[in-house]
Chains A and B, each alone.
Chain A
């Protein structure tokens, strides 16, 4: 098996995992029972994961959020939804593969699922534009949310993007307008909107899917007004100060919960969502299901009002 990519600080974990795998292989080849030898190693692996992932710096969380093996929208669609039927195109210009969406069932309940999609390899990344949507992606998302509203179904958005794409075509076709419109229209939607930041929540390009009744965030996801690299380059003219910027920006799930920008943190398995995607998907599915259940009884007007009131309170000012 080819070595899976891992981050610098994951090296001890990867090393131990490799030893365990090796031992298992040997045992299988020679038909030996090594479980007694492996058990303490497994225990050690668990402790190591706990130790390393329990003490991540903000920049390390950014790295985990961007991990090449982190589950993406399609992985969650596969693992916690059934009967996914993809719906494509914004009916105005084209289909943007950086955002996917469509009908699916969550624990039997029909919902609209919309999410940014990154690629696993270069070829897929070219197609998905590294998860950076064009205006037509946001317009498709809005079309689908409105369809769900028309048929009384909740919409679930999965946020995972470095940001809205800053390119010529994107600007020509109104990137700013598309995001601005989504915000205005999401404020007016009369059905349940649940957002979950599953990886990178990159600025306006993330928020364009994020004006929701409940905003969940996976434990190691990040959500920020700017990337640590971008912030460092602008403030200190030095992108290598990203650690310092990541610290200052307060972009972890724990920070955002404290700032009352998100409503709930979804726990990840030890070692991060990529260490056990099935468990991560179960936890996300539970949280989404619970969030929808808690809002289902609300009349549409009240739902809309509570959503508006929640965002209206955000920020901090003093009165002189």
Chain B
């Protein structure tokens, strides 16, 4: 029996190997490790070898941070206008809508996590570098106001190069707009957990991303006010190894914890349950 199977096995596996299409393989951009695409996928696009966190979509973060089927998008109907008549902007943003999707640079909605209702915003870096202009500011502000109405905690996943130039000073003012609403959330005693992903810089880091009651960051994420290129230009020398990474921020006291993507949901749920004085998830189950 045993030898019989052994006889057949090589033939089966060789047929299987033939059936693996070439695009089933994936290679880590960081360490060049080659593995099955499915393995990257199961690890939420984190390299199984070196732990490098690839960029993932806003939709994917909504899947990760809410119970299956619970996420409901809201304010998805807000669209950019071209308030300054900035040359080339209308075409640029139209292309981003076409290529990336209608959520603009942030996806907003509500759902549950281990049964706890929460409001979630996840930024979409693919949409013009996750840049913040009127739509991002308005969606974050409305979501925070909705959290207030529903007395639900707020979670924001940031990924942004900063304020969007093409809406000029109106983009800058989104930092103030989101801040006044988050101040109201704080007054109402509702928790806000901020999750920083690669990269979180400029106007987003200098507003809501660093205003969280608790601030978590994904491993290796670059987080700072000025981008590395600008700093390099200013000081005229190379930046130290690991400068502005999540681990660097942790060491300098700017974030509470560096949390791998696979643990984000667990960490968020555990924290929210304690802050909201709910029993732990295991007990609740």
List residues of A whose CB falls within 8 A of some B CB. 164-168, 170-177, 179-181, 183-188, 203-204, 207-208, 210-211, 223-226, 231, 234-235, 244, 248-251, 255-256, 259, 261, 307-308, 311-312, 314-320
Contacts and interface: CB of A to CB of B under 8 A. Distances in A.
Contacts of A234: 165
Contacts of A314: 137, 170, 173-174, 176-177
Contacts of A231: 165
B80 to A, nearest CB: 7
Interface in B68-102: 77-81, 83-84, 86-88, 102
B226 A319 contact: no
Interface stretch (B108-116, B118-126, B179-187): B179-187
A167 B84 contact: no
Query: Which 6 pairs from chain A and chain B are nearest by CB?
Result: A166-B226, A315-B134, A187-B183, A183-B179, A176-B205, A175-B225
Contact of B206 (A175, A187, A259): A175
Contacts of A175: 206, 224-226
7 contacts: A167-B234, A174-B210, A176-B224, A187-B176, A312-B181, A315-B138, A317-B135
B207 A315 contact: no
B198 interface: no
Contacts of A210: 176
Interface string B194-232: 000000011101111111000000000001111000110
B84 A184 contact: no
B250 interface: no
A191 B245 CA distance: 38
B28 interface: no
B179 to A, nearest CB: 4
Interface string B156-184: 00000001110111111111110111111
Contact of A316 (B134, B164, B235, B254): B134
Contacts of A211: 176, 179-180
Interface in B239-255: 239-240, 243-244, 252-254
Given A204-B206, A314-B174, A319 B235 contact: no
B259 interface: no
B89 to A, nearest CB: 9
Contacts of B182: 184, 187
At the interface, is chain B mostly helix, strand, loop or mixed? helix
Contact of A204 (B165, B202, B244): B202
A224 B169 contact: yes
Contact of A312 (B169, B172, B180): B180
Given A180-B206, A224-B169, A317-B78, A207 B176 contact: yes
B239 to A, nearest CB: 8
A261 B170 contact: yes
A166 B168 CA distance: 20
A308 B209 contact: no
Contacts of A261: 169-170, 173
B133 interface: yes
B225 A319 contact: no
B180 A187 contact: yes
B141 interface: yes
A249 B168 contact: yes
B178 to A, nearest CB: 8
Contacts of B83: 259, 315-316
Contacts of B80: 317-318
A188 B181 CA distance: 10
Contact of B176 (A174, A249, A311): A311
Contacts of B171: 225
A206 B168 CA distance: 14
Contacts of A179: 206-207, 225
B86 A204 contact: no
A275 to B, nearest CB: 27
A171 B87 CA distance: 33
Contact of B183 (A164, A188, A248): A188
A315 B175 contact: no
Nearest to B78: A317
B139 to A, nearest CB: 9
Given A168-B235, A203-B172, A248-B168, 14 more contacts: A166-B226, A172-B252, A180-B179, A180-B208, A183-B207, A204-B175, A225-B167, A308-B180, A311-B177, A312-B180, A315-B134, A315-B167, A318-B81, A320-B78
